[in-house]
A and B are shown apart, each in its own frame.
Chain A
C-alpha cells in the first residue's frame, strides 16, 4: 500500500515518456515524481522534454516529418494536449538552475537528467516524509546553488562554456537529442564542449543566427530540431533542408511573433471586457461593452509550415485583413478549430512583417524586393496620404503586386476626401443657386455675403454684386481650393491648379452674371466632378492591391436585373422606405 503513491507518480511520468525510456531504464527519481505531480507548467526544461516525447520526438520515427523548424517547434510546444499559458516566445523559464530533481547543474554540457535517485528517502516512506525530505534538500541546495552560480559564471566567462542558464541548458539538451538522433549515441560519438559549439551545430542545421545569448525561442527550436531528426531518421540530413527554409522564417520571426502576441493581448482584453460586461455596475458594463466592440485591423493567416509557412501565406495572399473587435478575437482564439487552423496578427504590424518577409529568399523569387514602387493616386503634387507603395511582382512570377501595408489609412483618407468633396459640392450648389438669379433687382448684397460666407471668405466692402461674385471666383482659384476642399484639397495636383487658374483668370470686372455662373459651372466640373472621378479611380487602384471591392459597389452602371430590382423594391417597402 505504501508504495502505491510512488507507483502512481511513476505511471504519470511514464505517461509523459519520462522514466524508463528517458532515463535509460533507471529508476524514476522522487524529484521527477514531485515535478510530474505539479500542474503542467510550460516554463521548465522538463516540460519541453515531455513535449518532445509527446510529439513523437524520441521513438515515433514513422511520424510525418514537420515541414520546417518552426512547425516542428510548434509540434513540440503544443504536444500532448498541454496548452502553454501563452505563446512560446512569452515563456518564462524561471530563475533557478537546477536539474529536475533539485540538484544544481553539473559540468557544462552534461545531461541534466540524473542517472539515479539522489534523495535518500527509502521506498515506502510516507508522502509526508517525502515532502519533508524534499524541503530539507532544497534548503541545503540553496547555499550550494549560490556558490555554484558564482563559480560557474566565472568559468563560463573564461572558457565560453555553457553557463547553466535554464534557457541555455534547455537549448543544449535539445541539441543533444538532435545529435543523438542524427548519429546515434554510441560511446565514440564526441560531444560538443562549449556553448559556441552547440550554437554552431544549431546554426548549421537550421540556418538561423544564434549570435549572442541563447533565447527562449532558440531553446525551443532545438527541441523542434530534435523532433524533426528523430522522425526523419539518422540517415537523413534534416539540417540541409532546414537551413534554407529557416532563413525565411527567421527574418520574419520577430515582427510576426510581436503581431501574434499583440493579437493575443487584444483577446485577453476582450475576455476581460466580456467579464466586465456582466458587472452589476451599469456604467462599468457600458464602458466594457464599448471597449469590447471597438474594431481594429487584424490579419488572419492560415497556419501551416510554422512561421515560415505564415510568411509564405502572406507572400501568396492567403491572409485576409479583417476589422475585429477584441471580443471577437477572444471568441476566435478560444475556438479550438479556428486556433488550430489560423493565426491572428495585429494589422498595425503588417507593414513591418511584410517588409521583413520581403527580405526572405522566397520573396526574392516572386517580387522585386529592393524597394517598393510609389504610386501617387492623384498625380504629382498631391499629398503623401494618397501615395501608396507597391512591391512589384517579377515577370512570370504569377503573382500580383503587393501593397506595402493594409491600405486602411488610404481608404480612410479617401473617405475623408469624399466627405469634404461633398461639403464643397454643397457650397457650389448654394453658390450657384444664389448666382443664377443675379441681377440688380433680385440679387441683394446680403445674398452675396451669404455666398462668400458659405465658401469661407470675408467679402471686401464697397463692391458691386458682380464685383463681389468676381471676388468669390478669384478666391476659388487653386491656391484657395485646398482650404475649401478640406481633405480633398490635398488631392489637388499641380495640373489641377493650373486649370482652375485658367478658368478664373478669364474673368474681368465687367463679367456678366451669365459669364460668372458659366465659370462657376466650369469650376464645379473641374474641381468637384473631376475630384470625384479621381477618388473613384484611386479606390479602384487601391482595391486592386487590397483585394477588396469597395469601388465596385459604387458603380452606377451596374444595372440590376428585373428580379433583383423587384427584390430591391420589395425590400425597401418591407422596411417602410418609400420607393
Chain B
C-alpha cells in the first residue's frame, strides 16, 4: 500500500466517521500492509462515509449540540425560583456554585455541552416529582418561565 493510502485510512479511522466494517477492514489493511488493489474498494468507500448514518435531523442536531436525550430531559426545565436564583450568577461557574449550594454535589450533573441539570436526587431536594432522567434547568421550549426569567422572578 502506498503512503497516501495509509494516510487516508489512518485519517478515516481517527475521524470516527467510518462504520465498524470499514474500521475493521482499514485496521487489517494497515497491519498487513495490503497492496493497493486489495484496498481499492475500501478507499473508494471513504468518499461515502457520511451517507446512510441512519440518523434523522433531530438526532444530528442533538449530536451537534451535545444533547443526550437518552439521559437528559431538555423540555421540562427547573423550577422558576431555582432559575431566578441562578440568574444572579454572572458566569457559568457562578451559576454552578449557586446550584451546588442549593442541591449539593450529587444533586446536579452536566451534559456533554456543559448544561446544568438536576439529578433525580436534586429534583427531590427541589420538591419536584423525581424523573428517571436528569432535568436540564434551562429548558429549550417557550414557557411561562421565560416570562419569569425576564421578570427576574
The answer to whether A binds B is yes
Q: Which residues of A are at the interface with B, using a C-beta cutoff of 8 A?
A: 293, 320, 322-323, 325, 411, 414-415, 418-419, 421-422, 425, 428-429, 432-433, 436-437, 439, 441-442, 520-521, 524-525, 528-529, 532-533, 535-536, 539, 548-556, 558-560, 564-565, 567-568, 571-572, 575, 577
A411→B60 contact, CB < 8 A = no
Could you say which residues of chain B place their CB within 8 Å of the CB of A558? 19-21
Q: How close is A284's CB to chain B, nearest CB, in angstroms?
A: 20
Could you say which residues of chain B place their CB within 8 Å of the CB of A524? 56-57
Could you say which residues of chain A place their CB within 8 Å of the CB of B60? 425, 428-429
Interface of A is mostly: helix
Could you say which residues of chain B place their CB within 8 Å of the CB of A425? 50, 60
B85 interface residue, CB < 8 Å from A?
no
Cross-chain contact of B48 among A320, A418, A432, A439 (Cβ < 8 A): A418
Could you say which residues of chain B place their CB within 8 Å of the CB of A565? 20
Q: How close is A294's CB to chain B, nearest CB, in angstroms?
A: 10
Cα of A554 to Cα of B49 in the assembled complex, Å: 7
A560→B48 contact, CB < 8 A = no
Identify which of B35-43, B101-109, B117-125 touches chain A: B35-43
Cross-chain contact of A322 among B10, B37, B47, B140 (Cβ < 8 A): B37
Could you say which residues of chain B place their CB within 8 Å of the CB of A567? 24, 27-28
B52 interface residue, CB < 8 Å from A?
yes
Q: How close is B104's CB to chain A, nearest CB, in angstroms?
A: 30
B70 interface residue, CB < 8 Å from A?
no
- Over the window 41-71 of chain B, the binary record of Cβ atoms lying under 8 Å from chain A Cβ atoms (1 yes, 0 no) is 1101101111111101110110011000000
Selected A-B contacts with CB under 8 Å, 29 pairs: A293-B4, A323-B40, A415-B48, A421-B50, A421-B51, A425-B60, A429-B60, A436-B140, A441-B146, A520-B57, A521-B56, A525-B56, A532-B51, A533-B52, A535-B48, A536-B51, A536-B52, A550-B44, A550-B48, A553-B45, A554-B22, A554-B45, A556-B52, A558-B20, A565-B20, A568-B27, A571-B23, A571-B24, A575-B27
Cα of A439 to Cα of B20 in the assembled complex, Å: 41
Given contacts A553-B22, A568-B24, 14 further A-B pairs with CB under 8 A are: A415-B48, A419-B47, A428-B60, A429-B61, A439-B146, A532-B51, A533-B52, A548-B44, A550-B48, A553-B21, A554-B52, A556-B52, A571-B23, A575-B14
Q: Which of B10, B31, B48, B50 has the most CB of A within 10 A?
A: B48
Closest to B150 in A: A441
B20→A550 contact, CB < 8 A = no
Could you say which residues of chain A place their CB within 8 Å of the CB of B30? 575
Cross-chain contact of B13 among A322, A436, A437, A575 (Cβ < 8 A): A575
Closest to A411 in B: B44
Could you say which residues of chain B place their CB within 8 Å of the CB of A559? 20
A421-B50, A556-B52, A577-B13 as given contacts; A572 in contact with B27, CB under 8 Å: yes
B92 interface residue, CB < 8 Å from A?
no
Cα of A575 to Cα of B21 in the assembled complex, Å: 17
Closest to A428 in B: B57
Q: Which 6 A-B pairs have the closest CB atoms?
A: A571-B27, A553-B45, A415-B47, A439-B142, A422-B50, A550-B44
Cα of A565 to Cα of B64 in the assembled complex, Å: 27
A553-B25, A558-B21, A577-B13 as given contacts; A521 in contact with B57, CB under 8 Å: yes
Cross-chain contact of A550 among B24, B45, B52, B65 (Cβ < 8 A): B45
B2 interface residue, CB < 8 Å from A?
yes
Q: How close is B153's CB to chain A, nearest CB, in angstroms?
A: 14
B41→A552 contact, CB < 8 A = yes
Closest to A433 in B: B61
Could you say which residues of chain B place their CB within 8 Å of the CB of A293? 2, 4
Could you say which residues of chain B place their CB within 8 Å of the CB of A549? 41
Q: How close is B6's CB to chain A, nearest CB, in angstroms?
A: 12
B41→A548 contact, CB < 8 A = yes
A429-B61, A521-B58 as given contacts; A418 in contact with B47, CB under 8 Å: yes
Closest to A576 in B: B14
Could you say which residues of chain B place their CB within 8 Å of the CB of A555? 19, 21
Cα of A521 to Cα of B60 in the assembled complex, Å: 11
Could you say which residues of chain A place their CB within 8 Å of the CB of B41? 548-550, 552-553
Cα of A411 to Cα of B45 in the assembled complex, Å: 10
Closest to A559 in B: B20
Cross-chain contact of A539 among B23, B25, B48, B49 (Cβ < 8 A): B48
A529-B56, A553-B22 as given contacts; A577 in contact with B14, CB under 8 Å: yes
A548-B44, A571-B31, A577-B13 as given contacts; A556 in contact with B142, CB under 8 Å: no
B57→A432 contact, CB < 8 A = yes
B25→A429 contact, CB < 8 A = no
Q: How close is A84's CB to chain B, nearest CB, in angstroms?
A: 29
B140→A437 contact, CB < 8 A = yes
Could you say which residues of chain A place their CB within 8 Å of the CB of B20? 558-560, 565, 568
Q: How close is A77's CB to chain B, nearest CB, in angstroms?
A: 30
Could you say which residues of chain A place their CB within 8 Å of the CB of B56? 521, 524-525, 529
Cα of A517 to Cα of B24 in the assembled complex, Å: 38
Q: Which of A415, A533, A535, A568 has the most CB of B within 10 A?
A: A568
Q: How close is A364's CB to chain B, nearest CB, in angstroms?
A: 32
Cα of A525 to Cα of B56 in the assembled complex, Å: 8
Could you say which residues of chain B place their CB within 8 Å of the CB of A432? 57-58, 61
Could you say which residues of chain B place their CB within 8 Å of the CB of A433? 61, 64-65
Could you say which residues of chain B place their CB within 8 Å of the CB of A419? 47, 50
B48→A554 contact, CB < 8 A = yes
Could you say which residues of chain B place their CB within 8 Å of the CB of A415? 47-48
Could you say which residues of chain B place their CB within 8 Å of the CB of A325? 2
Q: How close is B117's CB to chain A, nearest CB, in angstroms?
A: 17
Closest to A423 in B: B50
Q: How close is A304's CB to chain B, nearest CB, in angstroms?
A: 21
Cα of A432 to Cα of B58 in the assembled complex, Å: 8
Cα of A40 to Cα of B69 in the assembled complex, Å: 80
Could you say which residues of chain A place their CB within 8 Å of the CB of B140? 436-437
